[in-house]
Amino acid sequence: MELSRYLKVYPCTDKPGRAMLLATRRCAVLELSESLWGRVCNNGELSEREQSVLADKGVLVADAAAERKEMLETFKIANSRKRSVTMLVTLTLECNLACPYCFEDPFRGRFLMSDKTAELLITELTQKMRAGFDVKIDFYGGEALMALPRLKDIAGRLEQTARENGVKFQFSIITNATLLTRKVAEELLPLGLTSIRTTLDGPPDIHNKQRPFVSGKGSFDTILNNIKELSGLIPIELGGNYTHENYRRFPEMLDLLIQEGVSPETFSAVGFFPVFPKADGSVSGDCNSTCASSDEPWMIEAGLILRGEILRRGFNAPKPGPSGCMVEFDNDFVVGHDGKLFKCTTFMGDDDLCVGELGSFVADYSASHNRDVWKNDECLDCAYLPLCFGGCRFLRRLRTGAIDGVDCRKAIYDATLETIVRQDLELRDRA
Amino acid sequence: MPLLSVLILQHHFREKEVEQMREDQDLMVLEEGVSCDVEMACKCTKGPIKVN
């Protein structure tokens, strides 16, 4: 057996003579004595159990060169195994909020999905269901619930088709939650609603400045009331967008939720992220600390501090895991309100990155989206490859004007991953 | 069973137990991890992008 190259080794400073391993293909974490680690590294004798555990968790592999080659096939295998289709469906580009940082600013407006486009979507997904695929939709906008009748029509018909074909249909809504009352959620649950994703940008004064209604009125209280009504009814994933100036105050919002009787269990996950520039690269005057890179020192510090505060209060934060861009997944698309297909929501305003249309074929986007960008020696030899696969194409494009290389995340993982792993071990499930 | 055999057996099992305990301490799995299947990284929200 040989050591996998997709492995990080961290010293245990509080436990002399021991080391911690993170096998990044599985994100398994092991602690072992330095004497055992010495035997592992020097092909020393291992017991049957030691060998079996280390192989099972991805620390040891039969052939490291073969594993490297196997990585090249990661998405080919994933696509061949996947029996589900995920569509992120833009019902409207209209929104009742006027967030200064919204990356859709360059192309938002009163654009609703037409009857014809909805029919094309239903037809296409019906064909997939008849072929035995499960279907998952993330309804998206603008504000998706400003097109509630359209959402109900699509979901209702697909739910029935799924039942007739013995496959699963489920949907989530990416929503600002201002219109998501308990009554609306109860109407949507039988149609396949399984979760929602919404956003609170910190405590009320910050949130109301960053996420006001179009009228200028703050939206915090409306969203909080709806979250209270939805608590226990449906899993909620909570996001939030911070700047250099305000990230330290985000934990106040978590405390406020608890004070208001919204328990951490209400949320399936909580994650806060820095404000990035808009889809066209422009930056709102109110959010002047946006950045097209996530490895700036303040962003690294902010991300770690906030993740720790989330876990410390008993909320769940997503664990690192093997993941790749939508570009890698053959059956998954962003559907524009007009039926155009994209591989990222941020590309919706750019026809050069349109990869097809509902009802017609999908173009080969390998070159335009640099699909194999990570298939180079540097990435294939990088321990972080299973977590990254070339990073974010949108961020690369923001930096250089083109998807002309990887968005290398090595610096950010070097600076954060060990702390993230230790946070998970020390803080998770403590509440 | 003769007393000696019992003692030998007990000793044998204690040795096994001690060996197992040593092995358990030498190698601890703190996080089982997930399957090697990759998932979509970016679940976009309306605002800024979630990156991993």
Please report the sign of the dihedral spanned by the C-alpha atoms of residue A318, residue A321, residue A327, residue A328.
negative
Whether the per-residue pLDDT at B16 is higher than 70: the answer is: no
Nearest CA in chain B to A334: B44
Q: What is chain A's mean pLDDT, rounded?
A: 93
Nearest CA in chain A to B32: A28
Q: Within 10 A of A12 (CB to CB), how many other CB atoms are there?
A: 14
Give me the phi and psi of A117, to 5 degrees please: -65, -40
Closest CA–CA distance from residue A418 to any residue of chain B (Å): 13
Look at B48 and A275 and tell me if their CB atoms are within 8 Å: yes
Look at A75 and B38 and tell me if their CB atoms are within 8 Å: yes
Question: In the predicted model, what is the mean pLDDT of residues A279-300?
Answer: 63
Look at A28 and B29 and tell me if their CB atoms are within 8 Å: yes
Q: A294-298, A317-321, A378-382 — which one is most confidently predicted on average?
A: A378-382
Whether the per-residue pLDDT at A293 is higher than 90: the answer is: no
Q: How far apart are CA A346 and CA A324, in angstroms?
A: 16
pLDDT in tens, A105-155: 777 788 999 999 999 999 999 999 999 999 999 999 999 999 999 999 999
Within 13 Å, how many C-alpha atoms sit on residue A88's CB side? 25
Residues contacting residue B38 through CB under 8 Å, at least 6 positions apart: A74, A75, A78, A322, A323, A324, A328, A386, A389
Look at B34 and A271 and tell me if their CB atoms are within 8 Å: no
Whether the per-residue pLDDT at A187 is higher than 90: the answer is: yes
Question: In the predicted model, what is the mean pLDDT of residues A261-273?
Answer: 95
State the ipTM, two decimals.
0.84
Chain A residues with CB-CB distance to B48 below 8 A: 101, 103, 241, 273-276, 290
A–B interface: beta-carbon pairs under 8 A: 151
| CB-CB contact of A415 with A7 (8 Å) | no
Look at B46 and A95 and tell me if their CB atoms are within 8 Å: yes
CA angle B9, B12, B17 (to 5 degrees): 125
Whether the per-residue pLDDT at A185 is higher than 70: the answer is: yes
Which member of B40, B44, B51 has the closest CB to residue A395? B51
Closest CA–CA distance from residue B15 to any residue of chain A (Å): 15
- CA A258, distance to chain mean position in Å, is 25
Question: In the predicted model, what is the mean pLDDT of residues A339-349?
Answer: 91
Closest CA–CA distance from residue B7 to any residue of chain A (Å): 26
Which member of B30, B35, B50 has the closest CB to residue A31? B30
Indicate the SS3 state at residue A365.
coil
Nearest CA in chain B to A29: B31
Q: Which pLDDT belongs to residue B6?
A: 63
Q: Which pLDDT belongs to residue B50?
A: 40
Chain B residues contacting A via beta carbons under 8 Å: 23, 25-52
Whether the per-residue pLDDT at A46 is higher than 90: the answer is: yes
Question: In the predicted model, what is the mean pLDDT of residues A248-272?
Answer: 97
Which member of A324, A346, A425 has the closest CB to residue B49? A346
Which member of A95, A274, A324 has the closest CB to residue B41? A324
Whether the per-residue pLDDT at B43 is higher than 70: the answer is: no
